[in-house]
Structure 1
Amino acid sequence: MEIKQTAMAGTLESSDIQIVLSQGKGVEFDLTSDVEKQFGDAIKATIKSVLDAYQIDNVLVKVVDKGALTPVIKARAITAVQRALDLKDQPNWEVL
């Protein structure tokens, strides 16, 4: 699927993550996190799994992590994807 519009989910509060999706070529990550060395690959893998579930392969993913746990990362990624695909009112229950 193709990104229809730039979309954001999350905040910059402690223990949260902000994810912004926009059109790109391939899957590109721009990750900012204090724990990037320890958890950067896991954060990217969690977001990538959501993108794969929606069959999105051309996207620029900007991520600002403030210590979010994996379920929070997944929830924010799903929300951002649904907003970017303009599926806000039609959740894909299989992904959840």
Structure 2
Amino acid sequence: MKIVKAAIAGTLESSDLIVKVSPCEDGLDVTINSEVYKQFGEQIGAVVCETLRAFSVTQGQIIVEDKGALDCVIRARMQAAILRGTESQHIDWGKLK
């Protein structure tokens, strides 16, 4: 799957995050900025990568601005941004956790 248009999901409120996706022809470019990166950066990265793999995203720029979100929130925001950015007409509900 490939990101074909810019999309955004989330807020910059405490315990939330913003996920921005946009097209990128050079493969996958993931940037994570977080207030709690020192403590939870590895886990945040794992959830982001797991979600990208679940949707088979291989091309696009992904920017995550985290304000201390839980894993379930990260996953939900990633899913929303990916579905918006890929202009997916069919949702495979089995991929959503």
Alignment of structure 1 residues 36-75 onto 2, 5 Å: 36-75=37-76
> For the Cα contact (< 8 Å) 1:30–1:63, is it kept in 2?
yes
> For the Cα contact (< 8 Å) 1:47–1:73, is it kept in 2?
yes
The aligned counterpart of 2:3 is 3
Structure 1: unaligned runs, 5 residues or longer: none
RMSD of aligned C-alpha atoms? 1.3
The aligned counterpart of 2:80 is 79
Structure 2: unaligned runs, 5 residues or longer: none
**CA separation in 2, counterparts of 1:36 and 1:26?**
24
Amino acid at match of 1:34: E
1:31 correspondence with 2:20: no
Amino acid at match of 1:73: I
Runs of 4+ with deviation above 6 angstroms:
none
**3-state DSSP of counterpart to 1:86:** coil
44-53 or 76-85, larger mean C-alpha shift: 44-53
